[in-house]
A and B are shown apart, each in its own frame.
Chain A
Amino acid sequence: MTRVLLLGPAREAAGVAQDEFDGDTVGEILHSAVDRYGADFERVLAVSQIWVNGNPAELTDLVGPYDEIAVLPPISGG
């Protein structure tokens, strides 16, 4: 299982701040996340950046049980 962090509007759309999924790639796991959370989450995901272990990632990147995927919608800090 790979841990997924859901932040800001992604957390709101998913209804949880973190979750776990099976899958070999970032893309597979995010596909499962859309299945689990639905259309609101899919809309937020479409405008979000994806990091793995704190660094920008591609959908084709391989992930394992010790990796952490973060879904980061557009930010508004400061």
Chain B
Amino acid sequence: MNLAPNLDWVFVSSSPLSADELCKWATRPNCGAVVTFCGTVRNTSTTGHDITSLEYETDVALAEARLAEVVGEARSRWGEIGAVAVHHRIGTVELGEITVVVAVSSPHRQDAFEAAKYLIDTVKNCVPMWKREVWEGGSAWSEEAHDIVSVRKR
């Protein structure tokens, strides 16, 4: 993984994600706080099956454009934040693996915590992404699906 030199880094990838890598990337000399959030595959679901993996799909260009919009909105709300990364996995993601990582640095911790929460909540509400739940002997689209929300309405 190349370390992007700029302050925003959105990425949709079929390769495993690393919170450590994003934490290091987001660490900046003027920032005393880095908050990372990871979403991981859990074994329970609304359908009652024992989940073994999730399968995510999207159009990468559409999803990355929307991720960039979400990051831009976070910057307009928390003007002091430093580096911001949001990476989302696609393809098959096994139980316990990371599906999404958010990393935010800022001079002080409060902005980093608030922006990180905003980012993951808004990604879930606003970014085009679809997951199938996979269990022994079957699979189905997640029943948690909801309409896409405009980023500005969040």
| Chain A residues with a Cβ under 8 A of chain B | 5, 7-9, 11-12, 49, 51, 54, 56, 70, 72-78
Contacts and interface: CB of A to CB of B under 8 A. Distances in A.
A75 B39 contact: no
Nearest to A77: B129
B118 interface: no
Contacts of A7: 57-59, 62, 128, 130
B127 A77 contact: yes
A12 B139 CA distance: 13
A75 B130 contact: yes
Interface residues of B, number: 27
Interface of B: 39, 56-59, 62, 65-66, 88, 99-100, 120, 123-124, 127-131, 141-142, 144-148, 150
6 contacts: A12-B141, A74-B147, A75-B128, A76-B129, A77-B56, A77-B58
B88 A77 contact: yes
A72 B130 CA distance: 9
Contacts of A70: 59, 62, 128
3 closest pairs, A vs B, by CB? A77-B129, A8-B130, A74-B145
B128 A72 contact: yes
